Amino acid sequence: MAENVGNVAPFINDQFIVTAIFGEVRPYETHKGLDIATSGSKPLYAVDDGIVILNGGNASTGYGYYFAYKNQTSGVAYFYGHMAAPSTLAVGDSVTFGTYV
């Protein structure tokens, strides 16, 4: 999917590649997320304000290290999986747009 290349966000000057799209049909499931890959190990940033609701995993789980937060006003939750290392934030911590997670 090399044609799906762009910048991660207006405040991050780094390119990414979309490696799997939401709704993609696979032999064993329908993909329920959007997978975005970068070259090497890059920092991850919050794309909204919210409260941390998950932080865990390890290198051997299906999602690897994972992290999630939820916007308390809109109810929208954001899940980051396949991370190179665990987040240093704890469940209950606040994040704001642009915060390193």
Which pLDDT tens digit goes with each residue over 65-98? Answer: 889 999 999 999 988 888 888 899 999 999 998 8
Position with higher pLDDT, 11 vs 34: 34
Distance CA 101, CA 10 (A): 17
Give the pLDDT of residue 2: 43
Q: How far apart are CA 74 and CA 79, in angstroms?
A: 15
Whether pLDDT at 33 is above 60: yes
pTM for this structure?
0.72
Q: Average pLDDT of 24-36?
A: 82
DSSP state, 53? E
Describe the strand order of the beta sheet including 77-83 as a list of residue ranges.
77-83, 65-70, 50-57, 94-95
